[in-house]
Amino acid sequence: MTPNLITQFLKLKTEILQAKTPKTHLQQNDLRENQKWRERVGVRV
């Protein structure tokens, strides 16, 4: 996976979560997970 594909995937994942649920504790955790992923892959959004 290229960093660009990962970024697109994470954006899509976040959008789906936002559409499904209100801003909940669970979602905050997921956004934090995405941030960790970006740092691990070296992607800055």
Domain boundaries, the chain: 3-41
Q: d(Cα 40, Cα 19) in Å, to the nearest integer?
A: 26
pLDDT at residue number 32:
85
Report which of residues 44 and 7 the model is more confident about.
7
pLDDT at residue number 17:
75
Q: Is the pLDDT at 1 greater than 80, yes or no?
A: no
pTM score of the predicted model = 0.37
Report which of residues 2 and 12 the model is more confident about.
12
* Distant-in-sequence, close-in-space partners of 1: CB < 8 Å, separation ≥ 6: 9
Q: Is the pLDDT at 44 greater than 60, yes or no?
A: no
Contact by Cβ (8 Å): 38, 14: no
**Which two structure tokens, joined as six digits, stand for 20?**
């499904």
Across the chain, the runs of DSSP E, i.e. the strands, are: none
**9-36 tens-digit pLDDT:** 989 888 887 777 666 666 677 888 888 8
